[in-house]
Amino acid sequence: MTDTPAAHPTDPFAPEALNAAEGLHPVDPAYAKVLRIATALNLIPLAIGASVFDALLIRHIEGPYGLITALAWLIAIVTIVSFPSRRVSRWGYKIGDGQLRVARGWLFRTDTIVPFVRVQHIDVGQGPIERWFGLSHLIVHTSGTHNSTVTLPGLPSDLAAAMRETIRRHIQTDFA
């Protein structure tokens, strides 16, 4: 938990600088692979659909055959290769001082703080792809209507469990 911000001004668009400047910890880099597989599972069927559409319809009406197919696969591959690691590098979290802080996004950056005493209950979840890489996500529920759930993905499973225990202990001591 080193809170010292970077002494020299670095490129503000560098992801490491973003988290370090705000004193946040990055999530596990393996989460990029999880995101990549999830994105691929979403986009590849779409690209296949576009190819089929292209082959069946555009060729039928003698339009520019191949354009849609090429475009769909290009977009899909660029998205799958480059976006997940960028997105992962913009997630950051910090746990301590009786509060959980989760930050995400760059174009639209949201930095959420939930005090432990406001936590209603905690989930640690793990999807099939996450299980593959030994990762879990932590979901914190509050009673607020806005932000009723705050999700922090890309945590090693043992760390997620440890964070859950930390928060749970705080809830108990508050009500004791």
Residues binding other proteins (CB under 8 A): 99, 107-115, 117-118, 142-148, 150
Rg of the chain over Cα atoms, rounded to whole angstroms, equals: 21
Of 43, 23, 41, 12, the C-alpha closest to 106 is 12
Least Å distance, CB 106 to other proteins, is 8
- The CA distance from 5 to 25, in Å, is 12
In three-state secondary structure terms, 94 is: strand
- For residue 15, report the phi and psi dihedrals to the nearest 5 degrees: -60, -40
Toward other proteins, which CB reaches closer, 60 or 175? 175
Toward other proteins, which CB reaches closer, 32 or 114? 114
- The CA distance from 141 to 120, in Å, is 5
Toward other proteins, which CB reaches closer, 25 or 118? 118
Least Å distance, CB 151 to other proteins, is 12
1: tokens are 């938990």
Least Å distance, CB 86 to other proteins, is 14
Least Å distance, CB 117 to other proteins, is 6
Toward other proteins, which CB reaches closer, 109 or 131? 109
